[in-house]
A and B are shown apart, each in its own frame.
Chain A
Amino acid sequence: MVFSSATFLFVFLPLVVGLVHAVPDRLKNGTVLAASLVFYTWGSGGFVLVLIVTSAIDHRIADRAHRAWRRGDEGGRRRALTASVLLNLGVLAYYKYAGFLAVDLVARFTPIADPPAWLTDIALPIGISFFTFQRISYAVDVARGHERPADSVLDHLLYIALFPQLIAGPIVRYGDIAEQLRRRSTELGGVADGAVRFTFGLSKKVLIADTLAPLADQVFGADPGSLSSSAVLLGTLAYTLQLYFDFSGYSDMAIGLGQMIGFRLPENFDRPYTSASVTEFWRRWHITLSRWFRDYLYIPLGGNRTRQTYRNLIIVFLLTGLWHGAAWTFVAWGAYHGSLLLLERRLGWAERDGAGNRAVTLTLVMIGWIIFRAPDLGAAGALIGRLAALDFGPPSDDILVALDTRTSMILCLASIVFLLPGRGPANATRVLTQATRSGAFVRAATLIVALPLSLIVASSQAFSPFLYFQF
């Protein structure tokens, strides 16, 4: 189920929030869990069983690891933790990477020319990358004794399956919500704040990101050889903004939904396009993922303290790329960002500031998005080549049709995110929560203007009339 679908907006959301507030406290977790499983089944069908069964097994293993930690049984703790990590990564590897490995590695580099269909045609359970990382973080935190295990397998399942964050994050650590699973407040103020935050995210998604999508699709779907530099620049700008408003909008909706049912989920974005270095960008973009890789991979590899800092960085970013999808473009995008971070460290540029550095960083990030969005590495190279050709002729007719008045205006308005102050309280999501006059104004505008507009656009999205009707 998608947050911007009619079924979610007009049925699921009001029904679930209403139920959660109507039932007594002892039934609240059960209600949210049932709603979360329905939510997941709606989008993934039978894969809900994979989610339930693997979570139950993982809960037992993590419990065992925690008990071993309490006994001081280091060997038992390590064995249980290894089993949990292998289980989770094994499930992820099978569903997400088996086809990629079979087609791109085995078929290419071994005599097995035609890998079997059971290996190449595997359906992907939605959100698997997110909940796998949450489960690993749970197992590690519990095995290290940083967190007490969930009170029951149902609480564990609720932590994993909690519907606001289940399919697209933020990646919530158990410590973030462990206490809230036991006791949380569901007050009117929280519901109102959540409604505002949800609306803010919904409008970012349907009014901005979805408007920019056709322009980006047009450019990235075209033959790169037919594009001028200005067309590639337009498409890249559109995609840069689309991705931010889509993903951060989703995170806002998740955080808002969480608030409405009493959960405080972590922030995931903090004005990433105002960063003055790529290092800073990764502190502001998909914050919960960066934090996960830092704490569960980079630091265990040795972090900054070993002589292999650069190796560690490259490993982390190759895996960050691969986490986003099973394709060489994602691997290359990860390697590109890893290399930039490595270079910044080497040159001492990681902590710089200033408008010039912001512009350079934004340019580097946008080049990264070309690699990320292109259908393959050849197309990515060709698009970057077209951009570098500095041929600023007019874009083709197809692109001009996609660049209608509304798209042009949204493109210009959305670009304001590039000009926001890098630091300070200007973050719109912070303004939303401030008890100031400007905060009240933004909240009112969000609910009175953006909510009806977003609902209008969301409700008419799937409108696709027949073209060949009899006039």
Chain B
Amino acid sequence: MSRRLALLAVVWFFGLLVIPGLATIWSTRSTIGNRAVQPFPETSRSGVADASTFAGIDDWFEDRLSVRELAIDTHARLSLDVFGDSTIDAVLVGHDDWLYLQDTFTKACRDTLAIQDVLDGLDTVAIDLEAEGIELQWTVVPEKAWIHPERLPGSIVDLDCAREVNVALRSAAATDRHYIDLWGASERAAEGSIEPLYWRTDTHWNPHGRTAVVSSLVDALSPDVWEPETIVEHGRVDSPSDLYDLLGHSGTEVGVDFVVERRDVEVRSRRLDFGIRLQAETTSASTRVVEGKTVLISDSHLVNSSTILAPWFRDLVIVRAARIDDPAVAAQLGSADRIVVSFSARDARDGLVRAGQAISERR
């Protein structure tokens, strides 16, 4: 190797190592992975003799490495774009680059609660509430694997198990008068549309799917309120993607956006610690909304749909499921005319039990 080439090779090699290493001094901590970042290990004289101290420093440094996010993002993109593979087990790559959350197939199979016990418990709560003049309804929303199974990858662990659990859940629910069948509504909407209802790289509904499901929910709560003609296209939305996030991929997904245009409805919104309160004021007597106060306890699916939901409810309090035990939620539940509980299929059993307990203990 000539001296000039040798110099070039050395500069290149050490440049790729030294620059990211030095840049780490000024870099902010990595937020990728949505997990607690490793703190610097506690140091003491005895800690020097303990290899775990140094392993802790390795983790601390790795989390703060200036090129870490770029490396994870590039690795995820290369894996997806070149090989069509995921870099982590939690995300599965289906046909046409559709991504699926593996938990969709495995979590339901790890639950030990019997479906019928869960529903019986909720019925008991509903009967108690009826005596107080509060209506309780609940629903299970399907994940995209069940609405768009045609894009699932060829082999998936525990698919049969999850399907079995879901069939049992739905058949039990079908005979329950408190159940709102958003699952069936999603299936019908998907059959009647060439547009998918879910994002390709996200676990949630896209604007099209969101509109279809919300219309079914509003119809179930108060027929003749929903006005399909008020749903209009509103440009394109560049949506962040949760499955990309899991991969550390910084990409987003673009799709057609929809808004509700009800000219004689004005919506007021107020952020709360545990969710959001949306109140629709009508300026015309002929304009109908779901009357009374509705408290909706939901995971991200319906929480993310608040802008579509808002113009249809006189008074809607959306409680994020993770904050169900917040003391302020109990007061909202106590003053509600109607409580709606919604969970995605993989969290349904666990979520419905927690919601039932929170409602029972609202005082």
Q: Chain A residues in contact with chain B, CB under 8 A?
A: 1, 5-7, 9-11, 13-14, 17-18, 41-47, 188-189, 191-193, 195-196, 199, 397-398, 400-401, 404-407, 409, 435, 440, 443, 447-448, 451-452, 455-457, 459-460, 462-467, 469-471
Question: Within residues 1 to 33 of chain B, which ones have a CB less than 8 A from any CB in chain A?
Answer: 1, 3, 5-7, 9-10, 12-14, 16-18, 20-21, 24, 32-33
Return A49 CB to nearest CB of chain B, in Å: 8
Closest to A42 in B: B54
Contact string against A for B residues 257-289, beta-carbon threshold 8 Å, 1 for contact and 0 otherwise: 000000000000000000000000000000000
Residues of B within 8 A of A199 (CB): 13
Closest to A399 in B: B155
Query: Knowing A192-B5, A400-B155, A471-B204 touch, does A41 contact B54 (C-beta < 8 A)?
Result: yes
Q: Which 3 A-B pairs have the closest CB atoms?
A: A46-B49, A10-B21, A459-B71
Residues of A within 8 A of B71 (CB): 455-457, 459-460
Question: Within residues 64 to 90 of chain B, which ones have a CB less than 8 A from any CB in chain A?
Answer: 65, 67-68, 71-72, 74-76, 78-79, 82-90
Chain B interface size range: 35 or more
> Is A5 within 8 A of B58, CB to CB?
yes
Interface residues of chain B: helix, strand, loop or mixed (majority): helix
Return A97 CB to nearest CB of chain B, in Å: 21
**Among A401, A405, A455, residue most surrounded by chain B Cβ atoms (within 10 Å):** A401
> Is B17 within 8 A of A406, CB to CB?
no
CA distance A353 to B250 in the complex (A): 54
Contact string against A for B residues 298-324, beta-carbon threshold 8 Å, 1 for contact and 0 otherwise: 011000000000000000000010100
> Is A400 within 8 A of B154, CB to CB?
yes
> Is B10 within 8 A of A45, CB to CB?
no
Residues of B within 8 A of A11 (CB): 21, 61
Given contacts A404-B83, A447-B13, A456-B71, 17 further A-B contacts (CB under 8 A): A7-B62, A10-B17, A11-B21, A13-B17, A188-B7, A192-B1, A192-B7, A397-B155, A397-B157, A405-B84, A443-B1, A455-B20, A457-B71, A459-B65, A463-B87, A463-B88, A467-B103
State whether the Cβ of B132 lies closer than 8 Å to any Cβ in chain A.
no
Q: Chain B residues in contact with chain A, CB under 8 A?
A: 1, 3, 5-7, 9-10, 12-14, 16-18, 20-21, 24, 32-35, 48-54, 57-59, 61-62, 65, 67-68, 71-72, 74-76, 78-79, 82-90, 92, 103, 154-157, 203-204, 242, 245-246, 248, 299-300, 320, 322
Closest to B14 in A: A14
Query: Knowing A7-B61, A397-B156, A464-B35 touch, does A188 contact B83 (C-beta < 8 A)?
Result: no
Residues of A within 8 A of B92 (CB): 401
Residues of A within 8 A of B16 (CB): 451-452, 455
> Is A460 within 8 A of B83, CB to CB?
no
Return B205 CB to nearest CB of chain A, in Å: 12
> Is B13 within 8 A of A463, CB to CB?
no
> Is B32 within 8 A of A463, CB to CB?
yes
Query: Knowing A462-B62, A470-B300 touch, does A46 contact B50 (C-beta < 8 A)?
Result: yes
CA distance A199 to B35 in the complex (A): 31
| Listed A/B pairs (20) with beta-carbon separation below 8 Å | A1-B58, A5-B62, A7-B58, A192-B7, A192-B13, A195-B13, A199-B13, A401-B92, A404-B83, A405-B83, A405-B84, A440-B5, A443-B9, A451-B12, A452-B16, A457-B71, A459-B20, A459-B72, A462-B62, A464-B33
> Is B24 within 8 A of A192, CB to CB?
no
> Is B157 within 8 A of A401, CB to CB?
yes
> Is A447 within 8 A of B58, CB to CB?
no
CA distance A460 to B87 in the complex (A): 10
> Is A465 within 8 A of B34, CB to CB?
yes
> Is A195 within 8 A of B9, CB to CB?
yes
> Is B18 within 8 A of A14, CB to CB?
yes
> Is A188 within 8 A of B6, CB to CB?
yes
Closest to B46 in A: A46
> Is B203 within 8 A of A471, CB to CB?
yes
CA distance A210 to B140 in the complex (A): 40
